[in-house]
Amino acid sequence: MAGVDYYKILGVPSTATAEEIKSAHRELIKKHHPDLYTASLAKEQATQKLQEINEAYAALGNPERRREYDRSRVQVPPRSGPRQAKRATRSRASATSPTAKPVRKRFTLGKKMAFRWNRASSIKLAASLVGVIVVTMLAHAVTYEPRAATAWALLEKTAVEPPPSAAGEIDERWHHTQNYASRAECSAGLKERVGRDEREGSKVIFDEKIGTVAITVYVRDVNAVTREYVDSKMRQRFPEMTQGDPEQQRLAKQQLMKEAEEFVQKTGVLKRVRNYECRAIQVVEPEPWLRRQLRRMGVFSW
């Protein structure tokens, strides 16, 4: 107590009245309150100053304590250094002033809050980075890249021999009809087309062992063409004679047979040869990057 001049802290003489001490204390609180400062260093200095002011008022504002303080000033000269006086001031302020708040506790609370904030920010930053990495990997995994794959193509070539009286050449070009994923699927498609030609009256040459080559031949000879012509014309011109006099039918057919002979001479007969073949071809198809890597590692072969 004797090492600190409380009168000097409050800015009043040793002869000041209790009212003057109280008024000086009130004005100093308004001037040095920590809430008036925004900078951390200035706020800390204001807090220390306020503690000293409260400590001085605690000693001088109470008449009994003031008498004890005055006696100590006369009897014991100040011997303590600045650091010891500062420690004594803090201990007395904590014991006497209910409004004083220790600086160390404030500083520790600030450090804890800063640590928690930094930790939360670090967690959010790490989660964001992981999310970006995962999204990038997923986008790369589903990125499609072209790759060469084997497919089976069903080819078809149809050759129709023109009649002798007609000018033209036989078409010997192959036409691509459809792609299949496997040889068995292509062979099944080939058999389906062969069956259709067979139902239309074609003769079929099919290699059952290989299952990828077939030939169908459809022929309309002179008799077939003549018969089709006569039957068609009879239904068109003489529908009433189909159930009429047999002699009239015979005469009508003779007339139509002469016309049919002229028609056959002009148009000739029809011979159609159709070839089918399944061939393995290379196609380019898109493939995801992840599937490509797994296939290279031998996880699967498709």
Domain ranges of the chain: 6-101, 111-141, 154-285
Q: Report pLDDT for 26.
A: 92
CB neighbours of 258 closer than 8 A, spacing ≥ 6?
none
Distance, in Å, from the CA atom of 286 to the CA atom of 99, rounded to the nearest integer, reads: 76
Q: Report pLDDT for 182.
A: 87
- CATH number belonging to domain 6-101: 1.10.287.110
Q: Report pLDDT for 1.
A: 47
* DSSP string of 168-181, one letter each residue: -------EEEEEES
Cβ burial of 97 (10 Å; 0-12, 13-18, 19+) is: middle
Q: How many Å separate Cα 149 from the centre of its chain? A: 27
CB neighbours of 175 closer than 8 A, spacing ≥ 6?
155, 156, 157, 158
DSSP letter (8 states) at residue 21: H
Tens digit of each residue's pLDDT, the chain (302 residues): 457 899 999 999 999 999 999 999 999 998 888 888 888 898 899 899 999 999 999 999 999 999 999 998 876 454 555 555 555 556 555 545 555 455 454 556 666 666 677 777 788 888 888 887 877 667 666 666 676 778 889 888 887 765 555 545 556 688 888 889 888 899 898 888 888 888 887 888 877 667 788 888 887 667 777 777 777 777 777 665 555 677 777 887 788 888 888 877 776 666 778 888 898 888 776 777 777 778 778 775 55
Distance, in Å, from the CA atom of 127 to the CA atom of 103, rounded to the nearest integer, reads: 36
CB neighbours of 48 closer than 8 A, spacing ≥ 6?
103
